[in-house]
């Protein structure tokens, strides 16, 4: 069974069934998928292997960057530059057009960030990222003590040592995505297994933060990667695979992925392909309602 249908509306969003195409395997732990719309390729991190990989129909799987500071979440900024959350260095980096890598967030109040995990870019260019401590553990990062006493969500500033702290009452903040109009930010908490929603203020800050939905069900997995489709439906990792919610927070069902799932990204020319990073593999499925570009 590839779909757990909790509401018949799921078939109009995802389809009556899904077929999994494995485009990569034999990785240690896959994360951070990101589609390049003009280059027509997918990036993703094999985090424990310290290997940022690239896949395209033409070239298959190749190396994009190795080592990569055990990068996790990836996105493009509004100028098309690659932003990467790096577990090993506890920073958010940006790759410049000439290939130089610069730091855009490294510390808060003189202490090193925990390990930036996932990242999104607002329509005004603002960069928002989550900062749980997963990258300070063996396998997923480099084992070391945590300097900060909180796990938070930030907005990057002009100085990499002074990002703006937005919310600090999470247990394990992880995936995040904006609503279609950019007026709300969804952020999930892996440990608490729920999704919260915040209002985005005029100055880029956040207000509110009520629990919007919970991921419930059978199987391995918890809230992790999260994206919206072009109709405003929220896709979020959870038990058993990828959970699909309506804009009103009703769970339509679960895409039952063959392996525990960490993240996913929309891709291909019509953005009806969902590229899923699941443990040792990367899968592609086709859905009915398209997503949209990350830039």
Give the domain CATH number at 213: 2.120.10.30
Q: What distance in Å separates the CA atoms of residue 108 and residue 135, rounded to the nearest whole number? A: 17
Residue 114 belongs to some domain of the structure: yes
Average pLDDT of the residues in 15-44: 97
Q: What is the pLDDT of residue 294?
A: 79
Residue 294 belongs to some domain of the structure: no
Q: How many Å from the N-terminal Cα to the C-terminal Cα in the chain?
A: 34
Q: What is the pLDDT of residue 9?
A: 98
Q: How far is CA 5 from CA 113, 157, 238, in A?
A: 40, 42, 15
Residue 250 belongs to some domain of the structure: yes
Q: pLDDT-derived band of residue 218, with 50, 70 and 90 as boundaries?
A: very high
- Round the average pLDDT of the chain to a whole number and report it: 97
Strand partners, 42: 35, 55
Residue 51 belongs to some domain of the structure: yes
In the chain, % of residues over pLDDT 70 = 99
Residue 243 belongs to some domain of the structure: yes
Q: What distance in Å separates the CA atoms of residue 142 and residue 118, rounded to the nearest whole number? A: 17
Q: What distance in Å separates the CA atoms of residue 214 and residue 31, rounded to the nearest whole number? A: 22
In sequence order, what are the residues at sequence separation of 6 or more whose Cβ sits closer than 8 angstroms to the Cβ of residue 114?
Answer: 90, 131, 132, 133, 135, 136, 146, 147, 148, 151
Question: What global pTM score does this model have?
Answer: 0.97
- Name the one residue in this structure whose structure tokens are 């990073």: 277
Q: How far is CA 42 from CA 38, 148, 157, 242, 288, in A?
A: 11, 33, 28, 19, 20
Average pLDDT of the residues in 151-172: 97
Q: What is the pLDDT of residue 292?
A: 87
Residue 291 belongs to some domain of the structure: no
Residue 292 belongs to some domain of the structure: no
Q: What is the pLDDT of residue 293?
A: 85
Q: Which domain holds residue 121?
A: 3-286
pLDDT tens-digit map of 125-147: 999 999 999 999 999 999 999 99
Q: Is it the case that residue 295 has pLDDT exceeding 80? A: no
* Number of domains composing the chain: 1
């Amino acid at each position: 069974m590839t779909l757990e249908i909790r509401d018949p509306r799921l078939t109009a969003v995802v389809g009556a069934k899904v077929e999994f195409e494995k485009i990569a395997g034999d990785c240690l732990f896959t994360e951070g998928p990101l589609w390049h719309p003009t280059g027509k390729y997918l990036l993703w991190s094999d985090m424990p292997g310290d290997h940022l990989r690239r896949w395209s129909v033409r070239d298959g799987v190749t190396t994009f960057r190795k080592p990569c500071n055990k990068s996790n979440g990836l996105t493009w900024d509004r100028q098309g530059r690659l932003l990467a959350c790096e577990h090993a260095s506890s920073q958010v980096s940006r790759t410049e057009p000439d290939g130089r890598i610069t730091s855009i967030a490294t510390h808060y109040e003189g202490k090193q960030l925990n390990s930036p995990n996932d990242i999104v870019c607002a329509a005004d260019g603002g960069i928002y990222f989550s900062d749980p401590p997963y990258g300070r553990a063996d396998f997923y990062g480099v084992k070391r003590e945590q300097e900060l006493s909180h796990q938070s969500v930030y907005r990057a500033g002009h100085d990499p040592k002074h990002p703006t702290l937005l919310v600090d009452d999470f247990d394990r903040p992880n995936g995040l995505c904006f609503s279609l109009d950019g007026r709300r930010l969804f952020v999930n908490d892996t440990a608490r297994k729920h999704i919260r929603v915040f209002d985005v203020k005029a100055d880029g800050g956040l207000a509110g933060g009520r629990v919007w939905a919970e991921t419930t069900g059978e199987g391995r997995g918890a809230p992790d990667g999260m994206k919206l489709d072009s109709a405003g439906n929220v896709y979020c990792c959870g038990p058993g695979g990828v959970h699909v919610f309506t804009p009103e927070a009703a769970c339509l069902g679960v895409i039952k992925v063959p392996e525990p799932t960490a993240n996913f990204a929309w891709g291909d020319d019509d953005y009806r392909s969902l590229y899923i990073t699941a443990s040792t593999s990367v899968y592609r499925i086709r859905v009915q309602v398209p997503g949209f570009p990350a830039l």
